[in-house]
Amino acid sequence: MTAATKPLRIVIAKPGLDGHDVGAKVVCLALRDAGMEVVYTGLRKSPAQIAHVALEEGADAVGLSVLSGSHVPLTRQVLAELERLGIADTTVLVGGNIPEKDHAVLRELGVAAVFPTGSDFADIVSFLREHGHG
């Protein structure tokens, strides 16, 4: 089986204290419908916990959902933890309430793509199919 035909394994994670998880859960359902294997971490996970789940699950990509405004520091911490665990090549996506001006900031940190609130599921799916395998 080649990497391209194996289903993508995606970890959807909620870092920080924010409890808005409708978006994260709905994206989980959409990715599953698209044939991907999805693990949802649940709320209030520390960056270290999220990186640990990514390692344990052998995730091709990690999607962070943040709606509280703390996306930049939280993403920075998650990326640092992924690096610490030696899986810095994991594709990282960020979704939620992300102001346009922060998209470039997040990409500079190493985020592959930003899908703010209102993004089309189809765009997320096709992005992951194209870039999800790292």
Partner 1 sequence: MASGGIDPLFWESGPEIKPVYTAEDLEASGGVDGIGMPGEFPFTRGIHPYMYRQRPWTMRQYSGFGTAAQTHERFLYLIANGQTGLNVAFDLPTQCGLDSDDPMAQGEVGRVGMAVDSLADMEEAFADIPLNEITVSLTINGAAVPIMAMYFAMARKRGFDLATLKGTAQNDILKEFVGRGTWIFPVEPSVKLVGDTVEFCANHVPKYSPVSVCGYHIRESGANSVQEMAYGLAIACAYVDHVLARGVDIDHFAKGLSFNFDIFGNLWEQVCKFRAGRRLWAKLLRDKYGAKDPKSMQLRMIAGGGGAGLTIQQPENNIVRGAYYALVSALSGTQTMALCSFDEAYTIPSEHAAKLSLRTMQILMDEIGLCDTADPLGGSWFVESMTNEMEAEITRLMAEIDASGGIIAGIATGRVQDAVSRQAYEREKDLRAGRRKKVGVNCYVEDEEKREIEFHPYSETAAEAQIERLARVRGERDSDRVATLLEAVRTAAVAGDNVVPSVIDAVEAYATVGEVCRVLREVYGSYEEPIL
Using an 8 Å Cβ cutoff, are 49 and 99 in contact? no
Specify the residue, 7 or 19, whose C-beta has the smaller distance to partner 1: 19
H or E element in which residue 24 lies: helix 22-33
The contacts of residue 115 (CB under 8 Å, 6+ apart) are 93, 94, 95, 123, 124, 127
| Angle separating helix axes 71-84 and 47-57, nearest 10 degrees | 50
Closest distance of CB 110 from partner 1, Å? 19
Token pair of 134 as six digits = 């790292």
Applying CB under 8 A, does 25 fall inside the site for partner 1?
yes
Specify the residue, 1 or 17, whose C-beta has the smaller distance to partner 1: 17
Closest distance of CB 94 from partner 1, Å? 13
Specify the residue, 30 or 88, whose C-beta has the smaller distance to partner 1: 30
Contacting partner 1 within 77-96 (CB under 8 A)? none
Q: Which of 73, 84, 107, 134 binds partner 1 (CB under 8 A)?
A: 73
Distance of CA 26 to the CA centre of its chain: 13
Residues in contact with partner 1 by the rule CB under 8 A: 16-22, 25-26, 28-30, 40, 42-44, 46, 68-70, 73-74, 97-101, 116-118, 120-121
